[in-house]
Amino acid sequence: MGFTKTTKNRQKRQSLYKTIHYLLTYNDDEIDRTHHQHYVYREIWSEDFSAPVKNLLISGVDVLDIGCGPGTWILELGTKYEKSNFKGIDAFAFFPSTIKPQNVSFEQHNILNGLPFENNKFEYVIMRFMMFSLSLKEWENVINEMVRVCKPNGWIEIMEDDLVLHNRGPRTDLMMKIIIDELERKGVETIITPHILKFLETNPELPNIANDERYIQLGKCNKVGELYLESLKWGAKNLFESEHLFERGLRGVRYDGLIEDFVQECNEECTFTTSVRFYARVNKKHVVETKKNSSKIKEFFKKLQKFKKFKILKKLSPV
């Protein structure tokens, strides 16, 4: 019975991989890495969010976490902010179904089909670590969906890192080239933050966009750098072992030795990278007023055209 259930779950996951971009193999090790990644980024940022929503969370609002994974972020915030209601959504059901705070719920759903919520549902909508899951066009669609389900005067927030390391050694260059070539072959944009900013700026309901970034030095320079390098090492290993990324095999590359060289070079070269958060208040009133003004202008020109036509006809008519 258990074997049958496990087999069905595996088959379901395999069919999901055909419809989404996620390129890491979602197993227990990847879930552990995701938990670890959450705590590393908390150390980097000193806070779980950058949008000014703390008072809202304390008072009690509805929150949506898109691509919630195993639910680390949402479970922790649900425990901390008891008056707010937290909803996590992900294509893979690796989040807890029973042991969780009462104000936390999860839903399995592929966001490429749109968000399964009505307009103006949440006061705060957040999305993190989605680079390996979305193509450029999908990024634009999902951002617009975030805005749609967010209430007027609510907040949206996105956190991503570009796949760029500065002060790289030669073995790090090789490792990055192998991974980036495969990611780009799969349609993943590895320098995503400029595109995110562009998509946010082109949405008329986001008139003011803020961003914040952190420089992260990798390696033994400090505790955060050590933790972050461990997270990158773990992520690189899981990418190299992913059958969804390297279906063609590694063509003779010994990835374990390459990763060890990468770690050594990061410690020697003072390699660093950046993490970026974007956040914006949703101003739907601004758009409504713009549309109203636009329709008024159209109506004015329509009347003007009728008036001009009437004057012309009057001139042409016999006395």
The residue length of the chain stands at: 319
In-domain check, residue 293: no
What tokens were used for 86?
Answer: 């937290």
Report the pLDDT value the prediction gives residue 97, as an integer from 0 to 100.
87
Total tally of structural domains belonging to the chain: 1
Between CA 263 and CA 234 the distance in angstroms is: 11
- For residue 34, CA distances in Å to 49, 232, 249 come to 17, 11, 24
**Phi, psi at residue 205, to the nearest 5°?**
-90, 5
In-domain check, residue 174: no
In-domain check, residue 103: yes
Between CA 200 and CA 211 the distance in angstroms is: 11
Report the pLDDT value the prediction gives residue 241, as an integer from 0 to 100.
84
CATH of the domain at 28: 3.40.50.150
3-state secondary structure of 89: strand
Report the pLDDT value the prediction gives residue 246, as an integer from 0 to 100.
60
Report the pLDDT value the prediction gives residue 132, as an integer from 0 to 100.
87
Q: Cβ distance 89 to 65 under 8 Å? A: yes
Domain range spanning residue 45? 2-167+186-231+272-282
Report the pLDDT value the prediction gives residue 299, as an integer from 0 to 100.
64
pLDDT per position as a tens digit, 80-132: 999 999 999 999 999 998 899 999 999 999 999 999 999 999 999 999 999 98
Exposed (0-12), middle (13-18) or buried (19+): which is 141, by Cβ within 10 Å?
Answer: middle
DSSP state of 275: E
Report the pLDDT value the prediction gives residue 171, as an integer from 0 to 100.
94
In-domain check, residue 211: yes
DSSP string of 202-228, one letter each residue: T-TT---EEEEEEEEE-STTSHHHHHH
3-state secondary structure of 79: helix
Helical pair 170-185 and 255-269, crossing angle rounded to 10 deg: 120
In-domain check, residue 26: yes
pLDDT per position as a tens digit, 176-208: 998 898 888 888 999 999 999 999 999 999 999
Between CA 232 and CA 44 the distance in angstroms is: 14
Mean pLDDT of successive 10-residue stretches along the chain, which has 319 residues: 44 46 78 94 96 98 97 97 98 91 97 96 98 92 98 98 96 92 88 98 97 95 92 91 61 77 94 97 70 53 51 43
What tokens were used for 108?
Answer: 């399995």
Report the pLDDT value the prediction gives residue 247, as an integer from 0 to 100.
52
In-domain check, residue 16: yes
In-domain check, residue 261: no
Read off the amino acid at residue 115.
L
In-domain check, residue 236: no
- For residue 93, CA distances in Å to 36, 109, 200, 260, 296 come to 19, 9, 29, 33, 48
**Phi, psi at residue 151, to the nearest 5°?**
-70, 155
